[in-house]
Amino acid sequence: MLDAEFFRRWMTATAASVDREAERLTALDSPIGDADHGSNLQRGFTAVVTALEKEAPDTPGAVLTLAGRRLISTVGGASGPLYGTLLRRTGKALGDAAEVTEEQFTDALRAGVDAVMALGGAAPGDKTMIDALVPAVDALAESFGAAKTAAEEGAVATTPLQARKGRASYLGERSIGHQDPGATSSSLLIGALMEARDE
């Protein structure tokens, strides 16, 4: 069973991972975006950790809802609403339960990913965060480790694609050959699930 403490650790581990990888995310965002993905997410997840330390919500749903709200309020760009919606809608789908099963979490995360697709209008293959999140949710039924691998592979697999959403889409064919920064940061979020469990 996963409790509020697990989800708090998940957010903390994501923040640490984004901190470590911020420069890489920004570097990935330079050739096809505007070179700020790392610093924007860093600001957002730092705010999430600060908010969770202050409020300490006592259900998994409340942890993720609060995290999502903080991201929307601090990140800006497209990443703020997209990541914010992902966590907020996942949190809402978890409801008021004090503990949730991994299956319930998988279903909730799928609802969150669906909400991101609806908001951003992106489908798999558009070279966005969806390309890491959809395979991750599919693999989550198996294990956190499988989800991490699927997300990482999904992110790498965006390299040969042509972007159809977001700022990279303006490059047309020139977006080909670059790994998508949003798919990469999504793989960090999914990868942090393992760390949250290990603690």
Partner 1 sequence: MKMLINVAETVVADALRGMAAAHPELTVDVDNRVIVRRDAPVPGRVGLVSGGGSGHEPLHGGFVGPGMLSAACPGEVFTSPVPDQMLRAAAAVNSGAGVLFIVKNYTGDVLNFDMAAELAEDEGIQVAKVLVNDDVAVTDSLYTAGRRGTGATLFVEKIAGAAAEEAAPLERVQALARQVNENSRSFGVALSACTTPAKGSPTFDLPPGELELGVGIHGEPGRERRAMMTSHEIADFSVNAILEDLNPRNPVLLLVNGMGATPLLELYGFHAEVTRVLTERGVPVARTLVGNYVTSLDMAGASVTLCQVDEELLRLWDAPVKTPALRWGV
Q: x/- contact string, 25-44, with partner 1 (CB under 8 A)?
A: -x---xxxxxxx--xx--x-
Q: Does 174 bind partner 1 (CB under 8 A)?
A: yes
C-beta of 42 vs 59, nearer to partner 1: 42
In the complex, minimum distance from the CB of residue 36 to partner 1, in angstroms, rounded to a whole number: 6
**Tokens found for residue 29:** 């965002």
Pair 106, 141: CB distance under 8 Å: yes
Which backbone phi and psi does 23 adopt, to 5 degrees?
-65, -40
Pair 175, 158: CB distance under 8 Å: no
CA-to-CA dists, residue 139 to 17, 28, 103, angstroms: 21, 25, 12
Q: Does 143 bind partner 1 (CB under 8 A)?
A: no
Q: Does 12 bind partner 1 (CB under 8 A)?
A: no
Taking CB under 8 A as the criterion, the residue among 164, 176, 194, 197 binding partner 1 is 164
Residues 80-119 interacting with partner 1 (rule: CB under 8 A): 80-82, 119
Stretch that binds partner 1, among 13-21, 49-57, 149-157, 167-175 (CB under 8 A): 167-175
Contacts of 142 by beta carbon, 8 Å cutoff, 6+ apart: none
In the complex, minimum distance from the CB of residue 139 to partner 1, in angstroms, rounded to a whole number: 27
Q: Does 159 bind partner 1 (CB under 8 A)?
A: no
DSSP code of residue 5: H
DSSP state string for 14-72? HHHHHHHHHHHHHHHHHHHS-S-HHHHHHHHHHHHHHHHHHH--SSHHHHHHHHHHHHH
Taking CB under 8 A as the criterion, the residue among 14, 17, 65, 79 binding partner 1 is 79
In the complex, minimum distance from the CB of residue 106 to partner 1, in angstroms, rounded to a whole number: 26
C-beta of 164 vs 197, nearer to partner 1: 164
Q: Does 125 bind partner 1 (CB under 8 A)?
A: no
CA-to-CA dists, residue 172 to 94, 104, 168, 179, angstroms: 39, 39, 8, 14
Residues that bind partner 1 (CB under 8 A): 26, 30-36, 39-40, 43, 72-82, 119-120, 162, 164-172, 174
